[in-house]
Amino acid sequence: MSRICQITGKKVITGNNVSHSNIKTKRKFQPNLHTKRFYVPETDEWVTLRVSAAGIRTINKKGIYSALQDAKEKGFYKD
């Protein structure tokens, strides 16, 4: 399973570790992902999603049904 949020599309990005002497080495920045179950009252079912902390905040703000519809349009979530 890839490390991509199913609501926001956040994924692993790369950058540098920078030492005190300014030597740069490659590193990865991982998204803050959680596997969480959500109840969708419109369809009367439970959905298990792998979402970031920002994705959970988006669901709290918009609602699960609306957030899932937007994610499907953008291609982040597939049934």
pLDDT score, position 79: 76
Q: Is residue 6 part of a domain?
A: no
Residue 76 has pLDDT above 80, yes or no: yes
The enclosing domain of 29 has a CATH number of 2.30.170.40
If we measure between CA atoms, which residue out of 13, 49, 18, 7 comes closest to residue 31?
A: 13
2: confidence class by pLDDT, cuts 50, 70, 90: confident
Give a yes or no: residue 1 inside a domain: no
Predicted local distance difference test score (pLDDT) of residue 25: 98
pLDDT at 16: 98
pLDDT in tens, 24-75: 999 999 999 999 999 999 999 999 999 999 999 999 999 999 999 999 999 9
* Residue 55 located in a structural domain: yes
Average pLDDT over residues 20-27: 98
CA-to-CA dists, residue 63 to 6, 36, 45, 73, angstroms? 15, 15, 15, 16
Into how many domains does the chain fold?
A: 1
